[in-house]
Amino acid sequence: MSAPAVVIAAPASGSGKTTLATGLIGALRRAGHRVAPFKVGPDYIDPGYHGLAAGRPGRNLDPVLVGEDRVVPLYRHGAQDCDIAIVEGVMGLFDGRIDENRSDAIAEGSTAQVAGLLGAPVVLVVDARGHSQSLAALLHGFATYDSSVRLGGVILNRVGSERHEQVLRAACDRVGLPVLGALPRMAELEVPSRHLGLIPAVEHGSAATAAVDAMTELVAAHVDLRAIVALAGGSVLGDAWDPHVELATAAEHATGGTSFEGLSAAEFPAGVVSRRDPLIAMAGGPAFTFGYAEHRELLAAAGARVVVFDPLCDELPVSTAGLVLPGGFPEEHAGQLSANERLRTAVAAGASKGLPIHAECAGLLYLTRSLDGHQMAGVIDADAEFGPRLTLGYRDAVALHDSALWRAGSRVRGHEFHRTRLVRAGASNPAWGWRATDSVAEGAVVRQVHASYLHTHPAGNPDAIARFVTAARRFDH
């Protein structure tokens, strides 16, 4: 039996979903519940606040990046030992990947799609500013747009006065939707943001904890927690996601069950495939905050020992056989990253010797010659700088060259989310190709280094994780 869920959605971005979801997670936990926190889509920042509130990792549910068939298993995996799950949606309820070739009412990757896959009720968070009796028409539209989405209630956010709340409650009654809470305008709860959204909880430190506590207090005081718990539901069946099973399945699909890059399918579940388990160093700390919990779980299941280190101040861990440099905000910490010369030198030396390196976005920037004028590791023949515009969106990409993670010709779905760009780039083997308005060749493959702006979800690409750990086993210190 899996934990029941409530999906927190909104008519549009900026309605207050993160405040409500984070506060609800914290308030339910304070009331004695074991809460599983989830975020729809590729967002890395909101799960950090969810994790603070829940006391367990925030996880993502993204049908685009992992495949529709993995959403329920990943949900069951993340909700183990919990009695309720809170799933924060993305953008507006029906917003998802824009695909002119898809005519479905429910967009791929949308909150509505995930709610349908889980069979969970939706609570619509409405920014009450500017709304009066016409709120009834808006709610009627959302409640009747698609019968597969079950709207279970409304939470009114940023309510201006008692009279305002009365008018809004009457509008909700008119369309038969219960009001599960009404929150007053609280400007002091605004969490600082920058060009890619909220400042990650790891960077925001004690202020993030204080913000989560304030959200918890606000929701506990103004939302009917008993009604939320009573509303929670779901219809998920089947097995929970298991990293060992994923790796074994990837091996069987790739080789018919014989061998996969030196690993047999039978050996994957045990995670013991040689006389030593390679040490994979994974960058963390304030500059490298973007990642998925399933990444470490898959690396460990493939037999690796994962050590997290902070490139702002730490050296490369002894006996590192593979290096993971995930996304984040290196542009905000370029001076400190540059000042850690011992690490930069060690990474460059390792790359020259064939150290397998998996670098995404922030990791790509760290491997360039310079970032906004600050010296970086110099593994990639390019400089990086803060750019004039934000680049974001899902990509259907193909690997253009063999690497420590993908064979040439492998197809993946990824997501771009950055406001930096590479300049003065020399010739190199590009990592990915895709077609947008024009053909795009992006990233770099250098020896055993795979560096790119493209974020991928490891749960959607277990074969790449297996290849990477195999490459780490073969690395000669």
128 SS3 class: coil
Among 82, 172, 313, 361, the one annotated catalytic: 361
94 SS3 class: coil
| Contact status, residue 461 vs residue 450, Cβ threshold 8 Å | no
Locate tokens 């698609």: which residue?
146
Residue 467: closest CA among 407, 400, 397: 407
Residue 220: closest CA among 175, 274, 181: 181
Alpha-carbon distance of 349 to 8, in angstroms, equals: 47
Please tell me the chain's helix, strand, coil percentages from 3-state DSSP, rounded to the nearest 5. Answer: 35, 25, 40
Alpha-carbon distance of 165 to 169, in angstroms, equals: 6
Biggest CA-to-CA distance, the chain: 72
Active site residue 361: yes
Alpha-carbon distance of 180 to 211, in angstroms, equals: 22
Separation in Å, CA 409 to CA 22, 154, 260, 263, 434:
41, 47, 17, 21, 12
Locate tokens 């001076």: which residue?
335
- Residue 303 structure tokens: 């037999």
Alpha-carbon distance of 465 to 254, in angstroms, equals: 13
Complete DSSP assignment for 353-403: TT--EEEETHHHHHHSSEETTEE----SS-EEEEEEEEEEEEEEEEE-S--
User: Across the beta sheet with 5-9, what order do the strands follow?
Assistant: 59-61, 35-40, 84-88, 5-9, 122-127, 151-159, 179-184
- Residue 174 structure tokens: 């008119």
Alpha-carbon distance of 6 to 18, in angstroms, equals: 14
CB-based contacts of 363: which residues, under 8 Å, 6+ apart? 283, 288, 324, 325, 326, 327, 357, 451
Please, what's the b/e burial string for 161-190 (b: 16 or more CB within 10 A of its CB; e: otherwise)?
eeebbeebbebbeebebebbbbbbebeeee
Alpha-carbon distance of 375 to 335, in angstroms, equals: 8
Catalytic residues: 361
